[in-house]
Amino acid sequence: MKDFSHPNVLSLLGICLPPEGSPLVVLPYMKHGDLRNFIRDEAHNPTVKDLMGFGLQVARGMEYLASKKFVHRDLAARNCMLDENYTVKVADFGLARDVYDKEYYSVHNKRGVKLPVKWMALESLQTHKFTTKSDVWSFGVLLWELMTRGAPPYSDVNSFDITVFLLQGRRLLQPEFCPDALYTVMIECWHPKPERRPSFSELVSRISAIFSSFSGEHYVLLNTTYPSLSCHIRLVSSFTPLHPQPVSQPPPVLLLSSVHELKAVF
């Protein structure tokens, strides 16, 4: 990691090996802390474009890491930092697990390692294997976090039920202030087939175009309520049809072909 050099990736300054105690990692000072806490802070009033810009910076950082064949495995708003210039730095040195322990849950892992199951790709939940394409899935959840100002994903789904929930084709709902084009990107990131998900280079291009064309100052409020996921909506997009594996006695679902139909329901 010491060889990484990109404006949107947190650099490693050095490591200290004291005579006693654990090794110390030396990192640049991040004045505004982690991205999750920043967007949750009532003192800040980010616009949709501000939040979209944060997402674009994360995509650029991940594009660089992917080019280095680096798989993150724990991409989330809590693992991105903000410096004094509000530049987002993709990070993760295992620090977030202490601060956000409740967002990590043990799954059927032989070593009993806690994993961020609500940010994990479907195939990672099933096989515990991670790739750049599973990072793309996590990036889609991070975009959803940004557009909700840090709302917890799948808040009414038990962590042990998340795999079945996703196998049924259900996904996070479109946030109130999220542009349709950006939600389309999220849905593509959550395609059940990894090879059908966009690359980070494609995500940078797509989000850049959405960002450039977006106008107006639309502020995103904190504590916005969203329809309960228990309404069992399955998104079947016209551009990436979902073909979930069958599960026993699935709950009734409402098939929607676009985000416009989703808006009509609520």
Provide the pLDDT for residue 169: 94
Indicate whether 24 belongs to any domain: no
- Cα–Cα distance, 146 to 143 (Å, whole number): 5
- Cα–Cα distance, 33 to 29 (Å, whole number): 9
Indicate whether 80 belongs to any domain: yes
Indicate whether 15 belongs to any domain: no
Provide the pLDDT for residue 135: 96
Instruction: Count the neighbouring beta carbons within 10 Å of the beta carbon of residue 71.
Output: 16
DSSP single-letter state for residue 68: T
Indicate whether 254 belongs to any domain: yes
pLDDT confidence tier of residue 144, bands split at 50, 70 and 90: very high
Indicate whether 258 belongs to any domain: yes
pLDDT tens digits, 67-102: 999 999 999 999 999 999 999 999 975 544 444 555
Indicate whether 26 belongs to any domain: no
List the single range of 95-99, 154-158, 193-197, 242-246 with lowest mean pLDDT.
242-246
Q: In the chain, where does DSSP find H-type helix? A: 35-40, 48-67, 96-99, 122-127, 132-147, 162-167, 180-189, 200-213, 259-265
- What is the number of domains present in the chain? 1
pLDDT tens digits, 209-221: 999 999 877 888 8
pLDDT confidence tier of residue 134, bands split at 50, 70 and 90: very high
Q: The domain spanning residue 105 has which CATH number?
A: 1.10.510.10
Provide the pLDDT for residue 251: 36
Domain of residue 215, residue span = 31-265
Indicate whether 4 belongs to any domain: no
**Catalytic residue, candidates 34, 74, 92, 135:** 74
Is 180 a catalytic site residue?
no
The pTM score is 0.81
Q: How far is CA 125 from the centre of its chain?
A: 15
Indicate whether 57 belongs to any domain: yes
Fill in the amino acid letter for 179.
P
